[in-house]
Each structure stands twice: as structure tokens, then as C-alpha cells.
Structure 1
Amino acid sequence: MTAPSPPACAPPRSRRPAPSTARHFPAYRHRHAVCSSWLLDENLTRYLPGTSNILAFQRRFTRFGTWPDRDDDVLEFVFRTPPGTARLDRLPQTTTLQRALVRHLRAGRHWRMVHGWTPLAPGESA
């Protein structure tokens, strides 16, 4: 990521109505949306400003379950490096997120795949 995420990305996609789901499965109503992502890793609060879109996204979810290490997933998504090939000293550090990811790993910590859920408003569908 080289630029701030637009505010439009802060609400999860699941907050938008999905008319095809409601049309094809009218008896099945979604009450919650679930997300499993490193974006929900609470370690990001150590590095990102409270006004960041990532932290706004996190605040929508209640975390649950076990959280396995997923360093390669984060590095692949942010830096486009194939799993197992990232060299921290060669990664760009031009954004706050990039600097945070590298700093965290250099400190011997790991990024985790975190699971979370959020309620959907009546009439919304996942």
C-alpha cells in the first residue's frame, strides 16, 4: 500500500446489501458477517494512528477463536513477495503500514490471522 485507503473502504463489504442472496435464499437471513484476516490483528494498534481506516475496520468486529501466525500472508499482500522469500532489509518502508510490519517482525513478533464477527443491520445481507 502506498497511499491511504479511501474512507469508502472502511465499512466492510459485507455491510452492503447483497440482493442476489436475499432473492435466491429468502428464508435464510444473515445476522452476522465474519472476517478472518491479518487486518484484525490487534498488534496493529501499536503502530497505526487511531484515525487509520484499518483500525476503524477493526473496531467493527468482535474477535474470536485461535489466531495462527501468518507472517507470509501479510508480506505477500502488502509487499507482493512470494511466501518464504521476503528479506526484511530489502522491503520498501515508505508507508506507515510497511514500516509497522517490518518493525514488528524485526522485533521477533508475528502477525496473526484473526477471526472476527460483526452484526448486520436488519435488511442487510452478507
Structure 2
Amino acid sequence: MTIRPGEEWNTALRLMEAAGTWEELRGDLERLGLISALNADQRRALATLWDQRGVAALSDQALVENLAHWASGLGRAEHPLGFKAPHPDALVAEATHRGWFTKSLPGGKTIVNPPDGKPLIVPSVL
């Protein structure tokens, strides 16, 4: 595959749609030389989109469980998915997308009130 200048971002998005795992996506990006062609903001945005794709597929119960994990003060080391755990910001964004009550709080935290549960205070940084 030959990539024309300026096509890096669009190519990365197409690769992401086709990838089954983050490792597969990263391998494709490296093989095509896109890791170095994308700027830092684009790489962060791609990771955010990947997280959003994963959390959109979660059931409501799984979304609540993941939010509760971060709200309880646990981190990636304690999460069943380890370093592949969805970022709290992606989880909060999905809760907002589903119409759940969310509100930003001081100190980089967000309160999320699942429809059938107690409010959770989720940190936005790990």
C-alpha cells in the first residue's frame, strides 16, 4: 500500500476499523510507517477513538462495573484487562452518550449516575 502525503490520518482510521485488536492496529501502523508519520495529537486521538469503540460495545452492566472500578480507586494493575483497560474518560463519554447523568467536578473528577445504580465519582486521570 502506498500512502500519499496527507493521507496518514485517513489510512490510520481505515486500519483501525479493520483491526481486531490494538496490537494488530499498532502492527499495521508500524509496518506502513504511520507511527512516525502521525503527530502526537493524532496518535492520542487514535487511542481515544480505539477506547471509544471498545466502550460503545459494553453492556450497561459492564459499563457500570468499569466505572465502579475506577471510582473505587483501583488502577490498571487491578483491572482484569490490565493495561488494556478502557480509560475512565472514554467510559464517562459513553455514559454521557447513553444519556446517563454526568457532571464534571473540581479536581479532574466526574460524577456519573447510572440509571439503576448509585452515583460514582470517577477520576479522569490515571
* TM-score interval, normalised by the smaller of the two chains: under 0.3
Higher RCO (CA-CA < 8 Å; seq separation 6+): 1
Greater helix percent: which structure?
2
**Structure-1-length-normalised TM-score:** 0.26
**Structure-2-length-normalised TM-score:** 0.26
